[in-house]
Structure 1
Amino acid sequence: MKAAPSPVLTAIGVISGTSMDGIDVALIRSDGETRVEPGPGATFPYPDAVKRVLHDVIGNPGAAQGPLDDLQGAVTDSHVAAVFAFMKKFNIARESVALVGLHGQTILHRPRQGFTRQLCDGARASRALGLDVVNDFRAADVAAGGEGAPFVPLYHAAICAGLERPLMVLNWGGVGNVTWLGADGEIVAFDTGPANALIDDFVARRRGLSHDEGGALAAAGRVDAGVLARLMSDPYFDLAPPKSLDRNHFHALAREVEKLGDEDGAATLAAFTIEATAAALNHVNGLPSRWLVCGGGRRNLTMMRALGDRLGARVEPIEAIGYDGDVIEAQCFAYLALRSRRGLPLSLPTTTGAPRPMQGGVFWPAPKAA
């Protein structure tokens, strides 16, 4: 007798990435396996005061490991407010939503020390939303010896089902990560190195800008080959996957660009992202002819063109297959919340290095009405 198909449920996912350029919220309908129907997505700004404190804490690993109850409450409330704004914007009835996956804000990720921290109070969120919530997705993986990242590979595999393989899905957020989908169903994933974080920080210092719009500043500069070679000398690139990075891993090394002008510094950091991304091919079996790119970096036309030239492959935004690249990770945590409730793995040995497929997430049921 055939097992009944798993129900397709509506879930909302919420995340603010390492670049902290906003709180991403997205809705999907899914069974937590192969069926995914993307819904709307949107990004909402952090309150400026919360963002300032987060930047300070993320830049101070000691503080990031201390008691941060007030900041966690403020982050949680910001994410809850984003969910309410999202539901209002798209006229989504609360009773239609089965579950909310709240990733929270990563402030320190050091898996080799058995530590990862995402600020999010699941109990507070479920009370405020009046909805079931899953949070704390990464802790079980790290506790078991995994890297705790990247966590999007199973979602990438679900949305790319049926596409020609081998295929690479690249996320250029603050840090870059890839999911390699092999011809025989293999899934390998790891962080590649810098994506937008170093460039964003550089143009903020030099020009007071949030990012290099379209890669225009980098396009006007020349790559310093000597600085680029020193940047690529980081031993991280030779490590076999699974492997993951903290946002600030390359910051000390990136001081090399401070001696360069604005345009040349931006060009060199962009080239660093390209070379770090291309180095991912040293760790997979089979060259993908197609790369699908998610995250804010796909809007950097200079880097997108440079990556295609460097790889000799088709490099396209994820929109080419009908998904919104701004909210893929938010969709992912809606999907993982559904998997968590079904007791399905959120990560694999080939994606995080955990010893076995790992379940995860902590469930916070909505308070019952009195």
Structure 2
Amino acid sequence: MKFTCEKALLQAAISTTSRAVSPKSSIPALEGILVEAGNELRLTSYNLETGIRTTVPADIQEEGTLVLGARLFGEIIRKLPDDMVSFQAENYMVKIKCGMSEFNILGTDPEEFPELPTVEYQNSLILPQSKLKSMISQTIFAVSDNESRPIHTGSLFEVDDSGLTVVSVDGYRLALRHEAIEKKEGAPEFSFVVPGAALSEVEKICSDVDEPASVTQGARHVMFKVGDTMLVSRRLEGEFLAYRQAIPRNNTIIVEGETRTLLSSIDRVSLIISDKLKSPLRCVFDNGVLKISTKTAIGDAYDQCSIQGDGEGLEIGFNNKYLMDALKAAPADRVRLELTTGVSPCVILPTEGEEKFLYMVLPVRLRAGE
């Protein structure tokens, strides 16, 4: 194998593929990156859950394939001067040269590297990278980390005539984002669940551009294609929460507020809450004002912010982090909060335009005197 490649491009490709490298594995090849020089230069990583493959522009003089330890390969390329990198391999000995720097390192047999799973085409959709990125980032925080319900450790992708809906739930909150999509093929309606770990990598691979990203659903896997990079992940099997029935929509109390103002107030009161000193926020929704307070072993805090509407003095408790996560993710300057009682969920929606997002946070029981 012999090729030359620009250092910056190679470094970016290694950094992308390294995300699916197995940190520790009984199969040593999984701790490496498969380098294939053929018609094009391809780098592949696979941790048996998620696989990433990307192509790099390179001048290939001799074809070949081998596996290089991801950490060392990445560090060498990162620390090389900004110049053309020449790469030459005979048997498993690899010579990497760039400027005055030269490294000779040992690669391993590519036969030990498992093949990426093939995605048998069933359905697909296309949407801009920026939309896919924002839909993932604005719902992934609500993905569950409780392995007793594996289906909820991923996000539901649901496609119908109105577009794509992405939903995450973890038992205490729900996050939903909806967008129209440019193109879809296959069944009129389809859905699948993608592990949160894989979505986190898709979010990093996507850029804030309108270039298209495609999502292909297979029988057991799902494939995301973004530019020159492809990510394959297994699908999660099981019964996802019937989320439409779980969201209360005939709420009797509706108030509106500035997202940033609400966030600032909650943030200030949360200063005395920590992992060691947990305490719910006591929220009182009055006419035109939201009063927030909390009390922990080190003291108490109070703040208030103006809202539009009458909360009828409703007192309700919330986990501060869950409320802040939802408000941080909300892609709108103003939000509508819908409530009914002190023990029913709070639904957060945009005040204007179509409902492109919906967040639901379950309340925390308040103890008297807290």
Which bracket does the TM-score occupy, shorter chain normalised?
under 0.3
Between Structure 1 and Structure 2, the one with more helix by share is 1
Larger RCO (CA within 8 A; separation ≥ 6): 1
With the length of structure 1 as denominator, give the TM-score of the two structures: 0.23
Between Structure 1 and Structure 2, the one with more strand by share is 2
With the length of structure 2 as denominator, give the TM-score of the two structures: 0.23
